[in-house]
Amino acid sequence: MFFGPAPARDSDKVTYPFLGPFTGMMSSVLTAIHSILIKAAIEVLQGKTMDLVWYNNSLSAIGLLPLVLLTGEWQEAVLLFTSAAEDGADQYSPLHTFIVGSIITGIFGYILLSQSIEIMLNCGVASSLT
């Protein structure tokens, strides 16, 4: 799929696909709405940005729980914690792989949390929309 202007196959006219400009406009609209909601929530929480970050992360975790149950991912989690390493000296158990992956994910999650805090602080102090 081509996202820029391209000549039509059967003519010399240049056509512009609708998907690119539409997603760009929707991104801007949703970013503006998100900024307004953050500012309103910070006012309700009396300027406690960290409470908003904690609340946001908690709701995300709670929101993912039904998806884990509905998609059958919980069965994979049970297998992860109950299976042993395969035969061979170079094999790690699935639990070991999970722990190492969790550490790596935690590091990047902390970086994203820092960005989330920065966004919340920025919207609370300087928002051009509110």
Q: Among 67, 70, 49, which Cα is nearest to 114's?
A: 49
pLDDT confidence band for 70 (50 / 70 / 90): very high
The pLDDT tens digits for 73-91 are 888 888 777 776 666 555 6
% of residues, the chain, pLDDT over 90: 8
Query: Strand pairing partners for 7?
Result: 14
- Tell me the H-state helices in the chain: 19-44, 49-70, 73-82, 94-125
Task: Report the C-alpha gap between 51 and 56 in whole angstroms.
Answer: 8
Q: Evaluate whether 130 touches 41 at the Cβ level (below 8 Å).
A: no
- Structure pTM? 0.49
